[in-house]
Amino acid sequence: MHIHILGICGTFMGGVAALAREAGHRVTGCDAGVYPPMSDQLRALGIELIEGYTVDQIDLKPDLFVIGNVVSRGNPLMEAILDAGLPYTSGPQWLSENVLQGRHVLAVAGTHGKTTTTSMLTWILEFAGKQPGFLVGGVPQNFGVSARLGAVRSLSAAGPSQGANAPSGGSEVPAGSSWGAPFVIEADEYDTAFFDKRSKFVHYRPRTAVLNNLEFDHADIFADLAAIETQFHHLVRTVPQSGRLVVNAREEALARVLERGCWSDVARFGVRGDTPGFRARGEPHAFDVLKAGVLVGRVEWNLLGEHNQMNALAAIAAAEHVGVTPQQACEALGQFANVKRRLEVCGEVNGITVYDDFAHHPTAIRTTVDGLRRKIGPGSRILAVFEPRSNTMKLGTMKALLPWSLEEADLAFCHSGGLGWDANEALLEMGERAIVVDTIDALVAKVAKQAKAGDHILCMSNGGFGGIHDKLLKALG
C-alpha cells in the first residue's frame, strides 16, 4: 500500500511514517516545513518528503492519505482531497487498524511525563526480553529512534518473559488470557484531526493504561479541566475487564475520572504508608520500591526529581501487568538513559553549563527547575530561560502561575515574541529577577551578560527555541 502523510514531520506522524515503512508500505509525505531531526530520520528510511501542501500531490495517487492534526480546513491539498472524494484517515485511526490490532497495547496518558514514562516502560520490557514495539513523542536514548514495530507475536502468551533477562516468576498475566505482543505508546489527549475531535488515545484500546497525572492544558481545544476529565474517562471505558489501569494515587482529578465508572483492575502508585499500591522510599536518585508496604526492588540511577520517581513507579506497575517483576523492572531502570531534551546538557563553556529541556507547562517548568536545584545544590545559580510557546501558554491561560513555577531560579529570562499578553506584567512579582526580551538574539545577549562561572543556564521550550542553545554557547565562549 502507498500512503501519503500530511504533516509528516511532527513527532507523532513521523513515528507513524516510520512504522508504516517498517511494515513494508510505500510512504511519502509533506509538511509546511520539512525540518530536522524528523526529516533526517525519515529520509534515512527512504521516505520521500515534499515541502508544502501543493495540490499537485494528489497526482501521486496514493492508496490512502493519512492526515495529521496540524492540517485544517482551507489547507489547499486537503481541500483537493475532499473535492476529489479521495480516501483519507487520521494518524491514530491508521495506527489502530494497521499496527495495534491484536497487540497488547500499553498506553501512557497524562498531562506531564508521558514521553519519559513511555520510554521507561519500553526499556523495561526490552530489558525483560519482550521486544516491544513502541511509538514515543521523543527519542529514548536507549533506542535512538522514536518508533519501531517490535515483535509482532507474543513471546509469552500467559507468563513472564522467556528472554535472557526473564524474571523467575511472579507474572501478573492472567492464565488463559490471549495476549498479543506488547506495543507501548505515548497516549496524547490532544484531538485526533480536524474531522475527528476525539482525543488521540481513544483509538488505541489499551489493555494496560497509565494515568500519570491530570491538569488543565490545551486551552485551545478544552474549555476547562472537566472537559479533559471526560476524555480521560472515555479512555477508561476502552480498557477491558482483564486489563489494568495504573493510576496516580495523589491526583484528585484522576479520582474523579474513576468515580464516573471503572471496569478494570486498578494499580495505584504514589500511595502513602502500607496502602495497597506502589510507593517509593528514599531520594529520587536512589530509592526503594514498596508494594503494599513490602520491599520489592530498588532503583539507583542518574535521573533527578520526584516526578521521575513517580514516573518510575508508574512504569514498574504497568510492566508487572505483562509479566515483568518489580525487581527486574528496577534493575532495568538502573540502565535507563532517559530521553533527549530532558535536562540534557548541551555544553559547558568557561565553567557555565547550558541545558535543554522540553518543559513548557508551569508545573513542568517548576518540576524541572526544582530537579536541577536538587542536583547542583543551593550554592550555584540557575538562570532559567524559557519561551511560552505552547498553545495554552500563548493564550495566557496560565501566565499567573509563571512566578510560582520559577521560584527556585535565581534569574528568569522570558522570550515574549509573538505573545498576545504582557509578560512583564505576568512576572512583575519576581521584580529584578525576571527579564523579558522579544527577540532570540537580544535574549542571548542579556543571558550572556549576566552569566558567570559556576552558573547553570536552563533553556525550556517545546520547540527549537531558535537554536538558542548553540547561540548561548558561542556567546559565552
Whether residue 96 lies inside any domain: the answer is: no
Long-range pairs for 194-198: beta carbons < 8 A, 24 or more residues apart:
194/67, 194/69, 194/71, 194/72, 194/73, 194/78, 195/67, 195/90, 196/90, 196/93, 197/221, 198/231, 198/234
Helices and strands: H and E segment counts in the chain? 15, 23
Do both 323 and 366 map to the same domain?
no
Do both 157 and 77 map to the same domain?
no
Report how far residue 81's alpha carbon sits from residue 150's, in angstroms, rounded to the nearest whole number.
33
Do both 64 and 180 map to the same domain?
no
Grid look-up 508545573 returns 363
End-to-end Cα spacing for the chain:
52
DSSP per-residue string spanning 242-283: TSEEEEETT-HHHHHHHHT---SEEEEES--TT-SSEEEEEE
Expressed as residue numbers, the domain containing 372 is: 344-476
In a 10 Å sphere around its CB, with 0-12 CB exposed, 13-18 middle and 19+ buried, how is residue 262 labelled? middle
Whether residue 95 lies inside any domain: the answer is: no
Do both 140 and 274 map to the same domain?
yes
Whether residue 247 lies inside any domain: the answer is: yes
Report how far residue 196's alpha carbon sits from residue 200's, in angstroms, rounded to the nearest whole number.
9
What's the confidence (pLDDT) of residue 174? 41
Do both 379 and 266 map to the same domain?
no
What's the confidence (pLDDT) of residue 163? 36
Whether residue 54 lies inside any domain: the answer is: yes
Picking from 125, 121, 126, the residue whose alpha carbon sits closest to that of residue 136 is 121
Q: In CATH, what number is assigned to the domain containing residue 404? A: 3.90.190.20
What's the confidence (pLDDT) of residue 178? 53
Task: Return all residues near 74 (Cβ < 8 A) that are at least 6 apart.
Answer: none
Q: What are phi and psi of 91, to 5 degrees?
A: -60, -50
The three three-digit cell numbers of residue 391, written as one number? 498553545
What's the confidence (pLDDT) of residue 140? 86
pLDDT digits (tens, 9 = 90+) for 336-392: 987 767 778 899 999 999 999 888 788 888 888 988 888 888 889 999 999 887 777
Task: Please state the separation of Cα 198 from the chain's center in Å.
Answer: 19
Report how far residue 160's alpha carbon sits from residue 113's, in angstroms, rounded to the nearest whole number.
27
Do both 141 and 245 map to the same domain?
yes
Length of the chain, in residues: 477
Q: In CATH, what number is assigned to the domain containing residue 15? A: 3.40.50.720
Do both 203 and 245 map to the same domain?
yes
In a 10 Å sphere around its CB, with 0-12 CB exposed, 13-18 middle and 19+ buried, how is residue 415 labelled? buried
Q: In CATH, what number is assigned to the domain containing residue 303? A: 3.40.1190.10
Whether residue 303 lies inside any domain: the answer is: yes
Do both 280 and 315 map to the same domain?
yes
Grid look-up 506531564 returns 112
Which of 308, 333, 358 represents a domain boundary (last residue)? 333
Which of 333, 366, 396 represents a domain boundary (last residue)? 333
Domain count, the chain: 3
What's the confidence (pLDDT) of residue 210? 98
Which of 302, 333, 364 represents a domain boundary (last residue)? 333
Do both 367 and 393 map to the same domain?
yes
Do both 70 and 186 map to the same domain?
no
Q: Given the DSSP bridges, would you call strands 434-437 and 411-415 parallel, antiparallel or unpaired?
A: parallel
Task: Return all residues near 378 (Cβ < 8 A) that are at least 6 apart.
Answer: none
Whether residue 64 lies inside any domain: the answer is: yes
Q: Given the DSSP bridges, would you call strands 456-460 and 382-386 parallel, antiparallel or unpaired?
A: parallel
Whether residue 350 lies inside any domain: the answer is: yes
Radius of gyration of the chain (CA): 22
Those residues of the chain that have pLDDT short of 70 are 35-37, 154-179, 218-220, 340
Whether residue 446 lies inside any domain: the answer is: yes
What's the confidence (pLDDT) of residue 219? 63
Do both 254 and 302 map to the same domain?
yes
What's the confidence (pLDDT) of residue 36? 66
Do both 242 and 293 map to the same domain?
yes
